Amino acid sequence: MTVLITGANGQLGSELTNLLKQQNIDFIAYDSQEMDITDFDKTLSIIKDIKPSVVYHCAAYTAVDLAEDEGKEMNYLVNVDGTKNVAQACKKVGATLVYISTDYVFDGKKREVPYIETDKTSPINEYGEAKLLGEQVVQEILNNYYIIRTSWVFGEYGNNFVYTMKKLAKTHDQLTVVNDQVGRPTWTKSLAEFMTYLVQNNCEYGTYHFSNDDICTWYEFAQEILQDDNVTISPVTSDQFITKAARPEYSIMDLEKAKSTGYEIISWKTALQHFLEGIK
């Protein structure tokens, strides 16, 4: 099996390259400079030359707030056009594509029952819209694909909520965090493991929801992150913390389909503990 990774220097791509090294699996990894997925001819040339069995498509535009205005064009260029280019190239060589999507494809108006893979999508921000369009081009072009929707991602590489909280705690005695948005945090290591698990176990193609188990609000997530830090955290509502991009209030995605593959999903608290121990 020949493995190709796009977006190799990003938060997830970096985690995935480390995991494959640990698994002694050969792979070829390109960052955005080496493989500009927005250039179809170059993308096709690289993929036709490598002839990968599987492409882990980690390249993405993830600046959610910037995607509302100054980053809007790049958001669609990378997440829609770029994904279409990769999917078309995969079709040429018969490669399986693993595409990472987001809980932001939903509007967050559902309550009590988690979102399942077949629920109606209705993004409320530009990033979610672009990722959904990315899903649709993958589905239109390929039969052999895995779409993995994930949420609240944190990990060793790149910027994320855990690092932000830890950094703020060093310079502030008091912090405020929204307490009316609920979801499931996702450790990049768990996500990378699940991506490779689907491929290596020849799981059924299609769309999967994946995060770490159990739920929390951002406030509760922050409390767990900073439990050993000398800082007071106060809960606030979303209207007290305005962002350019609207966020779904309810981002809980059902994990039963992912669990049915046999992959054991650890809780977000356990994942966070392992992560924090690893970066000390």
Which positions are annotated as active-site residues? Answer: 127
Question: CB neighbours (10 Å) of residue 143?
Answer: 8
Residue type at position 1: M
Q: Are 219 and 177 in contact (CB under 8 A)?
A: yes
- Distance (Å, whole) CA 9 – CA 151: 20
Is 49 exposed, middle or buried, given 0-12, 13-18 or 19+ CB atoms closer than 10 A?
exposed
Q: Are 150 and 210 in contact (CB under 8 A)?
A: yes
Q: Are 235 and 182 in contact (CB under 8 A)?
A: no
Is 139 exposed, middle or buried, given 0-12, 13-18 or 19+ CB atoms closer than 10 A?
middle
Shortest CA distance to 221 belongs to which of 147, 174, 162, 136? 162
